[in-house]
Structure 1
Amino acid sequence: MSIDPFPPGKSDTDSLSVENGILRGRDGWLFLWDGSNDVSRYYTDPGYFGAPELAGWVTLLRARAARCAQIGAQYRHLVVPDKISVYPQHLTAPLRYFDQHPGARFARAFPDDTLCVDILPDLRGTRGNFAARVEPGGGEAEGSDKFFFKTDSHWTFEGCQVAYLRLCESLGVTPCDLSKARPGPGKEMVLDLGAKLSPPVLEHARFGRVLRHSKRQAENEMVRYNESEGLAKGTPRFVGCMVHNHNDQPQAIAKRVVLFGDSFCEFRPHLLTAMLSETFRDVHFVWSTSLDWDFIAALKPDIVITEIAERFVNRLPKDDFRVSPD
């Protein structure tokens, strides 16, 4: 997709409404723009994530897949597109190199390859009527606009389902029925992007509680800290969180999944970790972009999945992480 720059005579920064790293788009849409992640550079600086960075990822993912195959495990990698990649039509900013953003580069590097699961066409509504397969969450948005919150950097219940359904298809498994997990009425709240503005911007948000049959069997100290005080005090610690969910229902697929990911997966009961836990017998989630191969070897999983938000891909994982199980 080509995005036209601002008219001649205007600079790339003219007319942009950026506050505390947040770009105000059209119709109340907010986007991460600069700050520690330099998100805008993926779309405006062709050298920020170029051929060398992509080559590093291709080598890494191929090596991961080969190592997983040695232990009899399937491997899948998922890049969660940034909101800018999904909703460029809601921006007021010029995106001179939109076609070079990492998600597009990954898709071109792995054409028709199940190793790297491409969900951007589904989120953008450009690959058939995929949205019709997503359980409605009761939100006001229609079509592809329902897949991310306007004032948050994260996807909604419906957006997460898109990734879940595509992962299931890639793995050749039947997705579970999530109709009873649909979000309730929700409430007005301040989400992560809206919280960075002054005054804060509120949004009516709904969250579904996915975990019904699967039960948590274990969590480490970091998760216990977050749930007892870290989240409430606004001092959470995320990287290194680990949970193990077990599903003893007869319809659960008798396979063990190890999932390494970030806030789009979560240890709480409402996103991708939970959806996979309702599907498979055992799911072990670790909040990390790097793998712990000793942890994987000890569990002997049938499936290994890695997930990373697009804005983080400029830091190539070293796969030297060590999970603290307690």
Structure 2
Amino acid sequence: MSDEIVVGDQVVDLSKIADRRLAENVLIGKDGFIFLRNDRNKTIPQITGKFTLTGRLLRAWSRLFELRKAWFEVRGIDYFYIAAPCKECVYSDHLPSEITVSEDRPLKKLIRHLEGLGINDIIYPLEELRRAAAIRKTYPLGDSHWNWYGAFIAYRKLMDSINAHRLKLGKSVLSVLEEADVEFSEKRMDSDLSMKIGLSDMVTVGLIKKPNAKCVQWNNISNIGNYKVFEGVDKSLPKAVMFRDSFSNYTINYLAESFSRLVVVWQPNIDYSIVDSEKPDIVISQQAERFMVVVPDELGGSSNRGYVSGKVDSGIATVEQAKIVKA
């Protein structure tokens, strides 16, 4: 019996997928949407509230935010944390009918816990992404990450929060890209979920029409350990350092336009040696909602150099990939 599904303009027979292990990570939703399942972060149990944060983890998260806040305040650095919503939460109406998104999922539970302690530090652009999805897709059909348009919506939410804080402190607001500054179009490309079942995806990409910032330093390490530096034309703007995951692949080009210098480091914990060296005005952390069931190891976690060296030593990356390249 055929197990055919339609994803966009493509048809695939799941019964004929060669690697069934990959197909088991794919959840087929409504209207061609594909979601993540059976992953190590337990995304579906998370969003349904069946897998949640223990009291110990909630306390660990609150201590982490208190530690970061104290460290940055002493140095006059503004700190912002943005959580990238699960696609399943943004497009909950496209999930299979038997799956319901819970308000007791880990991130919502953490937000309530922190608010009870007077900590309102998590920026969560869920509603903004949902509203924007009525205009154009904010996540592709076949990817677990937001697309360039979703990244733009998240960038706008983050910058709104930064500027609101700056206004309270009597500082000047930073310039923010408008939608008219970005040319959005559709491009066929591989996506992390659709490629598991042999499909490509139509993805909304965004090109800044008149960019002022450019990447001036980088290494060629994939994922954790990746390092980039952007510099803009206006040197009077603040400097920023960002610690991020894969959700910021498309966000960083927008962010670079709002700062004189933006250092972007791929890791969950903060590398305080980089912050000390860069002396930024602003530090940003970005993490995917589904990763937040693990508290970053702030005290024992590796530095950027440590992550890179570990990859080279284990043969995952080469010495050449680890080198910092300058434009």
TM-score higher than 0.5 here?
yes
The answer to whether residue 25 in structure 2 is matched with residue 24 in structure 1 is no
What SS is found at the alignment partner of 1:308?
Answer: strand
**In the alignment, which residue of structure 2 is the partner of 1:164?**
155
Aligned partner (choices 296, 303, 313) of residue 317 of structure 1: 296
Give the conservation status (yes or no) of the 8 Å contact 2:240–2:263. Answer: yes
Matched, 1:33 2:37: yes
**Is 1:297 aligned with 2:280?**
no
SS at the partner of 1:94? coil
Deviations 1:26-48 (A, max 9, x none): 00010001132221120345443
1:153 corresponds in structure 2 to: 144
Q: How far apart are the structure 1 equivalents of 2:253 and 2:224?
A: 18
Q: Which residue of 2 aligns with 1:12?
A: none
The answer to whether 1:67 aligns with 2:34 is no
TM-score (norm 2): 0.76
Q: Corresponding residue for 2:200? A: 202
CA separation in 2, counterparts of 1:306 and 1:260? Answer: 5
User: Does the residue aligned with 2:67 lie in a helix, a strand or coil?
Assistant: helix
Q: Work out whether 1:217 is the aligned partner of 2:223.
A: no
Rounded to whole Å, the distance in 1 between the matches of 2:152 and 2:214 is 20
Q: 1:44 to 1:178 in 2, by over 3 A?
A: closer
Instruction: Confirm or deny that 1:192 pairs with 2:192.
Output: yes
Q: Which residue does 2:311 correspond to in 1?
A: none
Which residue, 248, 253, 256 being the options, matches 1:277?
256
- Distance change in 2, residues 1:45/1:116 (3 Å): closer
CA gap of 1:193–1:150, structure 2 versus 1, over 3 A, is same
Q: Which residue of 2 aligns with 1:238?
A: 223
Alignment correspondent of 1:182 = 183
Which SS does the other structure have where 2:205 is aligned? Answer: coil
**What is the aligned partner in structure 2 of residue 225 from structure 1?**
none
**1:117 counterpart (92, 101, 123):** 123
How much has 1:93 moved relative to structure 2?
5.0
Identical pairs, percent: 25
Read off the aligned partner of 1:123 and give its amino acid letter: L
CA distance in 2, matches of 1:195, 1:170: 35
Matched with 1:258 is 241
Please state which structure has a larger fraction of its residues in helix. 2
Distance 1:310 1:156, change over 3 A: same
1:24 touches 1:30 (CA, 8 Å); kept in 2? yes
Say if 1:206 and 1:43 are closer, same or farther in 2 by CA, change over 3 A: closer
Cα pair distance change 1:45/1:101, threshold 3 Å: closer
C-alpha separation between the residues in 1 aligned to 2:297 and 2:242?
17
Distance 1:245 1:287 in 2: 14
Shift of 1:290: 1.0
Gaps of 5+ in 1: 1-17, 126-130, 132-141, 223-236
After TM superposition, where is structure 1 displaced by more than 6 Å over at least 4 residues in a row?
Answer: none
Q: Distance in 1 between matches of 2:121 and 2:289?
A: 17
Measured after TM superposition, the shift of residue 187 of structure 1 is 3.1
1:257–1:246 Cα change, 3 Å: same
> Any idea what SS the aligned residue of 1:301 has?
coil
Seen in structure 2, the aligned counterparts of structure 1 residues 93 and 239 have a Cα distance that, compared at 3 Å, is farther
CA 1:191 to 1:158, structure 2 compared with 1: closer, same or farther past 3 Å? Answer: same
Contact 1:43 1:98 in 2 (8 A): yes
1:100 partner amino acid: D
Note closer, same or farther for the CA distance 1:216–1:276 as it changes in structure 2 (3 Å cut).
same
Q: Deviations over 1:110-138 (max 9, x none)?
A: 4496521121122233xxxxx4xxxxxxx
Relative distance call for 1:209 and 1:97 in structure 2 (3 A) is: closer
Residues 52 and 105 in structure 2, CA contact (< 8 A), matched pair in contact too: no
Letter in 1 for 2:213: S
State the Cα distance separating 1:101 from its structure 2 match: 1.6
Distance 1:98 1:145, change over 3 A: farther
Q: How many residues align?
A: 271
* Aligned-partner residue type, residue 182 of structure 1: E
Deviations 1:239-259, CA, capped at 9 Å, x for gaps: 01001100013xx76111000
